[in-house]
Structure 1
Amino acid sequence: MPIPRSRGLVSRSLLRENAYQVLRDAIVDGTLAPGERLSDGDLVEWLGISRTPIREALSRLEQSGLVRTKPGRYTIVSPLDSREARDAQSVTAAMHELAVRQALPNLSTAELEAMRAANARFAEALAGNDVDAALAADDEFHGVAVAASANGALRAVLERFTPLLRRVERLRFSSLSGRGSVGQHSSIVDLCAAGDVEGAAAATRANWGTLVPLLDTLSEAQEKAD
């Protein structure tokens, strides 16, 4: 898909961070397709800002595995690589498990209710085949424990690896295979409410582990293509 023709999407006062967020989200949701070339000129016109914050954003996206750059030649949206996605999945699962372990002793009733409310929105989005809303609600659900853990290093790791994994999750939540996460989320909340640290941590890891079969399918498809 060509870069959208709309202009001025990012306010000049926001610059670097918003340029990164807009480009990241466009890659994750498929607006910018795998293999698509990204020219500074097109991105300047689309986002309505200068080249410097765009190049800084592209550098961050490269570190996250979302773009590939050959200096002086090209920058492209990275194809979805099964090995990179597996690495992101294992790290992300471990970080969310750690978040639950660190958050649970101090998790409030209000935070538990926030998780339940997010899961209700998640179920509604899945029922309506609204992938964007499902991903947002899933982020909100898991984000409660991440925020409650108050662990800045954990949050930084997730910010780096989650976008790559979200590309895979769009495939899962657009199919019936994502529906099982609603029940898994409910179990996580119940275990947290019961103060069962080990049970909640294991359930969280298992929830993120449901991506593994999809990664297997992706790996098999890439092997056939090679």
Structure 2
Amino acid sequence: MSFTAKLPSRTNYVDEVYKVLLDAISDGSLAPGTRITQEEVAEQLDVSRSPVIQALRQLKTDGLVQDAPGRGVLIAPLDPQTIGHVYKIRGVLDELAAGLAAERWARIDPELIRKGREISLGDDVRAMIDADMAFHRAVYQASGNPLIEDSSRMHWVHLRRVMGGVIQLHGMRRPIWDEHQAIADAIEAGDVAQARQLALQHTLNASENLLARLGLETAAP
């Protein structure tokens, strides 16, 4: 098992261990069904077992790992019900944010899209997730309503994982940024209805493609 470099010397590693494991789960380095143990993680990250135990406990609470027969835990599968819940929340937030941003004739930094397209040509799924989330945060901030971004943070763990699931679909990487560009264009043009529609459709496309990847059928909204 190898998914990251050793962590720098710190007195409290719980948050760092949690973030490393979350990133590895999100980008597919730790695939669903993979068994990990406290000892393996502690050795890999060069930390004691105590922060690993606490980080794994939090990941279990978040539904990202589950008890395994015998020793260790298993990376939880991408659950279709959770995916549905996440994208319903994200769809509401994204549609609202895009509409409010369009009302303000906001301009989304084109560098975010340029950089996102560039990153999507590579193989760094983690960087792609970060770029995707940076675009959506920019839309939330452009809305002028700070509670939208605050609300998204409540679901950040699951948003990050499902984004990773979609981004791992190679055929989706370019369309994601084409859709981002269209949303940004509608916002800058002040087209509220179009911005809202495109933002909502963007989330529906992501949900449908991820569920299709898992061999599942999506229910009509």
CA distance in 1, matches of 2:116, 2:78: 25
**Given the two structures, how large is their TM-score scaled by the length of structure 2?**
0.79
Which residue is equivalent to 2:174? Answer: 179
Partner residue of 2:188 out of 187, 193, 199 = 193
Give how far 1:122 is off. Answer: 1.9
In 2 relative to 1, CA 132–3 (structure 1 residues): closer, same or farther, beyond 3 Å? closer
Which residue is equivalent to 1:146? Answer: 140
Give how far 1:154 is off. Answer: 1.0
In 2 relative to 1, CA 69–143 (structure 1 residues): closer, same or farther, beyond 3 Å? same
Instruction: Say which is worse superposed, 200-209 or 12-21, in terms of deviation.
Output: 12-21
Counterpart AA for 1:79: P
Which residue is equivalent to 1:63? Answer: 61
Equivalent residues, number: 214
Which residue is equivalent to 2:42? Answer: 44
In 2 relative to 1, CA 95–108 (structure 1 residues): closer, same or farther, beyond 3 Å? closer
Give how far 1:123 is off. Answer: 2.0
Contact preservation (8 Å) 1:65, 1:164:
no
Counterpart AA for 2:30: L
User: Quick check: 1:157 aligned with 2:154?
Assistant: yes
Counterpart AA for 2:138: V
**Given the two structures, how large is their TM-score scaled by the length of structure 1?**
0.78
In 2 relative to 1, CA 21–13 (structure 1 residues): closer, same or farther, beyond 3 Å? same
Give how far 1:23 is off. Answer: 0.6
SS at match of 1:189: helix
SS at match of 2:73: strand
User: Quick check: 1:20 aligned with 2:12?
Assistant: no
List gaps (5 residues or longer) in structure 1.
none
Instruction: Say which is worse superposed, 90-99 or 26-35, in terms of deviation.
Output: 90-99
Partner residue of 2:117 out of 118, 123, 136 = 123
Contact preservation (8 Å) 1:122, 1:137:
yes
SS at match of 2:92: helix
Counterpart AA for 1:168: G
In 2 relative to 1, CA 27–219 (structure 1 residues): closer, same or farther, beyond 3 Å? closer
In 2 relative to 1, CA 11–163 (structure 1 residues): closer, same or farther, beyond 3 Å? farther
Contact preservation (8 Å) 1:192, 1:200:
yes
Contact preservation (8 Å) 1:131, 1:170:
yes
In 2 relative to 1, CA 27–193 (structure 1 residues): closer, same or farther, beyond 3 Å? same
Give how far 1:3 is off. Answer: 4.3
Counterpart AA for 2:66: R
**What's the Cα RMSD here?**
3.0
SS at match of 1:49: coil
Q: Deviations over 1:106-131 (max 9, x none)?
A: 5754xx2x2x2111122223345654
List gaps (5 residues or longer) in structure 2.
none
CA distance in 1, matches of 2:128, 2:65: 25
Instruction: Say which is worse superposed, 59-68 or 128-137, in terms of deviation.
Output: 128-137
Give how far 1:34 is off. Answer: 1.7
Instruction: Say which is worse superposed, 47-56 or 34-43, in terms of deviation.
Output: 47-56
Counterpart AA for 1:96: D
User: Quick check: 1:136 aligned with 2:130?
Assistant: yes
Identify, as 1 or 2, the structure richer in helix: 1
